[in-house]
Structure 1
Amino acid sequence: MTQLENLNQYFTENRERHLDEMKAFLAIPSISSLSEHKDDMYKAANHLSDLLTAAGMENATIHDTAGHPVVTADWLHAEGAPTVLVYGHYDVQPVDPVELWDSMPFEPEIRDNIMYARGSSDDKGQVFMHVKVLEAMLASDEKLPVNVKVIFEGEEEIGSVHLDQFIADHKDYLKADVVLISDTSLYAPGKPAVVYSLRGLTGIQIDVRTAKGDLHSGMYGGGVHNSIHVLADILASFHDENGHIAVEGFYDNVLPISDDERAAYAELGFDAEQMKEEAGVKTLFGEEGFSYLEQTWARPTLEINGVFGGFSGEGVKTVLPAQAGAKITCRLVPNQDPHEIVALLRAHVAKHQPEGVDIEITEFDKGKPFIAPFDHPYVQAAGHSYETQYDQKTAFIRSGGSIPIVSTFDEILAAPVIMMGFALSTENFHAPNEHFHLENFDKGLRVVSDYLTEIASIEKI
């Protein structure tokens, strides 16, 4: 049998064991944003280190950071072959509201060949898939076709706060010819996709104060500022009626969408009715002059994520709220700088700030956008490997989401970043009843195996 036939047999014979091991990994509540789960983060890191060692990887190490630990390992005995750096994250989002789950989020269940658990698709299930590929190759052939390093972090869901510095401090160790990530989705069920661009992310919180405390509306109403009125005016000023962002200078550095990209998006056969059904909305709305895929992949956004202030209990409380606030995030596209965008947001708020009203701006974490040439040999090889398991041609697409650390890999390691995901956009990551279709787990094992084998024959660039 060929190596890939041996691997296929290994995956088939060990499938039940692998799924049981995946359940054990998913059962660890590695919620990075909640301090009460700090011990669980170390438990997950140790568990992952043990899985890597059992798979045959060498030098598995848990690195302390100022936040949650980073796990690394390597196998570097493929002389002359490219070096692949595999990245993923073992942290997950909180599970609230837990009452909306059909099964407990950290008690994994398989129903109809679908794994239900928090982290099953984002991203622990896909991280586990890569570990099992390495295990299978080392068990079947006692070697890997390429050199492999892994870096798995525990802070992706909170902005990879400390990973930039970790990569900078360990750039010599992490040096690689290509970075491989499975933290994205297929374009559609059965339709594989290589993501070559991601949007960046930045944001602010706006806190408005108009008085030292809430005021009686009968005594002061009509005579002083109402904090919610002030906030509402500012928020309304961010967009015009056609969905364009009205912040001066916001679009200045946005790269135009090429004709080739527009043509490629048109060939994907986007179904607006299906998208409306998936989102549970009656109509789609976005920046005028662009298609839905262009709006969500290649154009920037400014979203109001939350508004707070005043009285919201039962009945009426006749006060003028002294304080109100809002949280705003922006998805950014290639050539936009998060720091510059925040400066523009600050200037816009200041322009609309009434006299006598105090406004405080708090900045959120920032992530740069990313774009790579999709004609790169390592990118194209990913498309070929997908097609060994999927019957449709691989799409090369942008993603509207953000993986901030990707631009860091691009800048510090100067290696192409290949995003080969196996999740589906409908799998409820970040929401109740997150799940992972095991059909794509099975195919993913074989696709990644083929990819590592194929790029071994590509001359190092």
Structure 2
Amino acid sequence: MTNLQQLDAYFTAHRERHLEELNELLRIPSISALSEHKEDMATAANWLAQALKDVQMENVAILPTAGHPVVYGEWLHAEGKPTVLFYGHYDVQPVDPVNLWDSAPFEPTIRDNKLYARGASDDKGQVFMHIKTIEALFALHKELPINIKFLIEGEEEIGSPSLTAFIEDNKEKLNSDLIVISDTGLYGPGKPAICYGLRGLTGVEINVRGAKGDLHSGLYGGGVQNAIHALTEVLASFRDEHGTIQVEGFYDDVLPLADEERAAYAALNFDENDIKEEVGVNELFGEQGYSYLEQTWARPTLEINGVFGGFAGEGIKTVLPAEAGAKISCRLVPNQDPEKIVALLRTHIEKHKPVGVDITITEFDKGQPYLTPFDHPAIQLASKSYEHVYQVPTAFIRGGGSIPIVASFDQILQVPVVLMGFGLSSENFHAPNEHFHLENFDKGLRVIGDYYTALNQLTPEELK
């Protein structure tokens, strides 16, 4: 039997036990954003620590951070072979609104071969798959083909505020030849994908203040600045009618798409009509000269996420609002620096500030963009493992979203990051009825096992 056949036999024989164990983890309401779940966070960390011990990981520990702890474990006896650092997270999003769930969010339920529970796809299910892959490799071969370290954090869903400092303080412990993360998705059902780039993120809140209080529109209208009018004037200045950002210098550092990347995206035969139907619009909108995939994967954005101010109750209240505000986020692409972008936003807002108001700007958390060449041997090997199991070519894609800690790994540890996920965009992570297609749970176990075995063929030097 080939290694893949052995893995298939093992995972088939132990599938029900594995799902029962995963359900145990999914029942723990480890919501990092809510302080009342602090004990649940500790329970989840303890569960994972025991799971790592059960699959023969060594030096397993629950290590403190400034916030929720990380879970660590390692096995380092494959002399001369690559060392993989696997990263995932055990925290989950809040479940509100609960009434929109078809089953209890922390009581795992299988319907139509989909496992429904908060964390099923993001990210407990995918973390669990790597742990069970290690179990299988030990059971089949009595040892591992590679060295491996696990780093599982508890704050990803709140922006990983403590993890960058932890990585800095533990560079030696986390030293590795590559990092593997399963917190992304497939290109589509039955269509595996390697995500080799992520957009960064930054944003600001704009607060506009005019008069000392709301004013009667009949007495003062036309003679005193309206804070909402002033705000909308600033907001309208950010983009032109095609969505091209008008902030001076915004595009200066953008890394252009390579011809081979544009060709790879075109080869995906993406149908924009599918997106129109999915989101319920008649036409798409965006920067001219770029396809939808290029716009959402490889071009930066500036989006207004929320606007507030004035009277919004039933009926009408004829006032000049004294205050108004908006929240703005920017998705950034390689070579763009979040700090520089915020500085450019500040300059632009000051330049376009209408008379009669003061404007204050509050900065949000920032995340760097990330990009790995998709011809890197670690990525190419991962694509082959997908193809061995899914029996179709692997797509090479960028992610339009952000995983800020990926850039931290890249900058601090300076090793390649392989993003090999198994979720689908339709699985409602962060929303009611989150679920994980068990077809991809089953295939993903085999892909990971095949990949970890194949990495044995490479030397640490070949991964640099």
TM range (shorter): over 0.9
**One-letter amino acid of the structure 2 residue matched with residue 371 of structure 1:** L
Q: Does 1:391 align with 2:391?
A: yes
Give the aligned partner of residue 259 of structure 1.
259
Residues in 2 aligned to 1:61 and 1:322: alpha-carbon distance in whole angstroms: 54
SS at 1:92 equivalent: coil
SS at 1:251 equivalent: coil
Q: Does 1:460 align with 2:454?
A: no
Aligned pairs for 1:200-219 (under 5 A) are 200-219=200-219
Give the aligned partner of residue 239 of structure 1.
239
SS at 1:294 equivalent: helix
Instruction: Say whether the 8 Å CA contact 1:105–1:116 is kept in structure 2.
Output: yes
Residues in 1 aligned to 2:227 and 2:135: alpha-carbon distance in whole angstroms: 59
Instruction: Say whether the 8 Å CA contact 1:146–1:456 is kept in structure 2.
Output: yes
Instruction: Quote how far apart the aligned CAs of 1:79 are.
Output: 1.2
Give the aligned partner of residue 35 of structure 1.
35
Give the aligned partner of residue 80 of structure 2.
80
Give the aligned partner of residue 13 of structure 2.
13
**One-letter amino acid of the structure 2 residue matched with residue 349 of structure 1:** I
Give the paired residue count. 461
Instruction: Say whether the 8 Å CA contact 1:422–1:440 is kept in structure 2.
Output: yes
Residues in 1 aligned to 2:282 and 2:20: alpha-carbon distance in whole angstroms: 41
Give the aligned partner of residue 342 of structure 2.
342
The answer to which of 76-85 and 308-317 deviates more is 308-317
1:386-412: CA deviation from partner (whole Å, max 9, x where unpaired): 011112101111111111111111111
1:299-326: CA deviation from partner (whole Å, max 9, x where unpaired): 0001111111222222222222222111
Residues in 2 aligned to 1:40 and 1:329: alpha-carbon distance in whole angstroms: 31
Residues in 2 aligned to 1:317 and 1:28: alpha-carbon distance in whole angstroms: 48
The answer to which of 325-334 and 150-159 deviates more is 150-159
Give the aligned partner of residue 62 of structure 1.
62
Instruction: Quote how far apart the aligned CAs of 1:264 are.
Output: 0.7
**One-letter amino acid of the structure 1 residue matched with residue 426 of structure 2:** T
Give the aligned partner of residue 50 of structure 2.
50
1:269-289: CA deviation from partner (whole Å, max 9, x where unpaired): 101111112222222111111
Instruction: Quote how far apart the aligned CAs of 1:345 are.
Output: 0.8
Residues in 2 aligned to 1:456 and 1:16: alpha-carbon distance in whole angstroms: 29
Aligned pairs for 1:84-99 (under 5 A) are 84-99=84-99
Give the aligned partner of residue 439 of structure 2.
439
**One-letter amino acid of the structure 1 residue matched with residue 452 of structure 2:** L
SS at 2:390 equivalent: coil
Give the aligned partner of residue 290 of structure 2.
290
Residues in 2 aligned to 1:190 and 1:430: alpha-carbon distance in whole angstroms: 23
SS at 2:368 equivalent: coil
Instruction: Quote how far apart the aligned CAs of 1:178 are.
Output: 0.8
**One-letter amino acid of the structure 2 residue matched with residue 281 of structure 1:** V
Q: Does 1:119 align with 2:119?
A: yes
Instruction: Quote how far apart the aligned CAs of 1:3 are.
Output: 4.1
Aligned pairs for 1:227-376 (under 5 A) are 227-376=227-376
Residues in 2 aligned to 1:331 and 1:205: alpha-carbon distance in whole angstroms: 15
Instruction: Quote how far apart the aligned CAs of 1:19 are.
Output: 1.0
Instruction: Say whether the 8 Å CA contact 2:181–2:419 is kept in structure 1.
Output: yes
**One-letter amino acid of the structure 1 residue matched with residue 334 of structure 2:** P
Instruction: Say whether the 8 Å CA contact 2:224–2:356 is kept in structure 1.
Output: no
Instruction: Say whether the 8 Å CA contact 1:278–1:426 is kept in structure 2.
Output: no
Instruction: Say whether the 8 Å CA contact 1:137–1:144 is kept in structure 2.
Output: yes
Residues in 1 aligned to 2:281 and 2:150: alpha-carbon distance in whole angstroms: 40
The answer to which of 25-34 and 447-456 deviates more is 25-34
Aligned pairs for 1:382-421 (under 5 A) are 382-421=382-421
Give the aligned partner of residue 377 of structure 2.
377
The answer to which of 157-166 and 330-339 deviates more is 157-166
Residues in 2 aligned to 1:117 and 1:308: alpha-carbon distance in whole angstroms: 34
Give the aligned partner of residue 175 of structure 1.
175
Residues in 1 aligned to 2:38 and 2:316: alpha-carbon distance in whole angstroms: 42
So what's the TM-score if we normalise by structure 1? 0.97
Residues in 1 aligned to 2:17 and 2:366: alpha-carbon distance in whole angstroms: 40
**One-letter amino acid of the structure 1 residue matched with residue 229 of structure 2:** H
Aligned pairs for 1:97-108 (under 5 A) are 97-108=97-108
Describe the shift of the 1:189–1:58 C-alpha distance in structure 2 as closer, same or farther (beyond 3 A).
same
Residues in 1 aligned to 2:104 and 2:188: alpha-carbon distance in whole angstroms: 27
Q: Percent identity?
A: 68
Instruction: Quote how far apart the aligned CAs of 1:220 are.
Output: 2.2
Instruction: Quote how far apart the aligned CAs of 1:419 are.
Output: 0.6
Residues in 2 aligned to 1:218 and 1:23: alpha-carbon distance in whole angstroms: 63
Instruction: Say whether the 8 Å CA contact 2:233–2:354 is kept in structure 1.
Output: no
**Structure 1 ranges of 4+ moved more than 6 A:** none
Residues in 2 aligned to 1:14 and 1:264: alpha-carbon distance in whole angstroms: 38
Give the aligned partner of residue 191 of structure 2.
191
Return 5+ residue gaps in structure 2 as ranges.
Answer: none
**One-letter amino acid of the structure 2 residue matched with residue 410 of structure 1:** D
1:95-117: CA deviation from partner (whole Å, max 9, x where unpaired): 22222221222222110110111
Residues in 1 aligned to 2:4 and 2:392: alpha-carbon distance in whole angstroms: 21
SS at 2:172 equivalent: helix
**One-letter amino acid of the structure 2 residue matched with residue 386 of structure 1:** Y
**One-letter amino acid of the structure 1 residue matched with residue 238 of structure 2:** F
Residues in 2 aligned to 1:196 and 1:63: alpha-carbon distance in whole angstroms: 29
1:154-186: CA deviation from partner (whole Å, max 9, x where unpaired): 111221111111101000010001100111111
**One-letter amino acid of the structure 2 residue matched with residue 123 of structure 1:** D
Instruction: Say whether the 8 Å CA contact 1:114–1:438 is kept in structure 2.
Output: yes
Instruction: Say whether the 8 Å CA contact 1:190–1:391 is kept in structure 2.
Output: no
Residues in 1 aligned to 2:28 and 2:226: alpha-carbon distance in whole angstroms: 47
Instruction: Quote how far apart the aligned CAs of 1:217 are.
Output: 2.1
Instruction: Quote how far apart the aligned CAs of 1:2 are.
Output: 4.4
**One-letter amino acid of the structure 1 residue matched with residue 182 of structure 2:** S
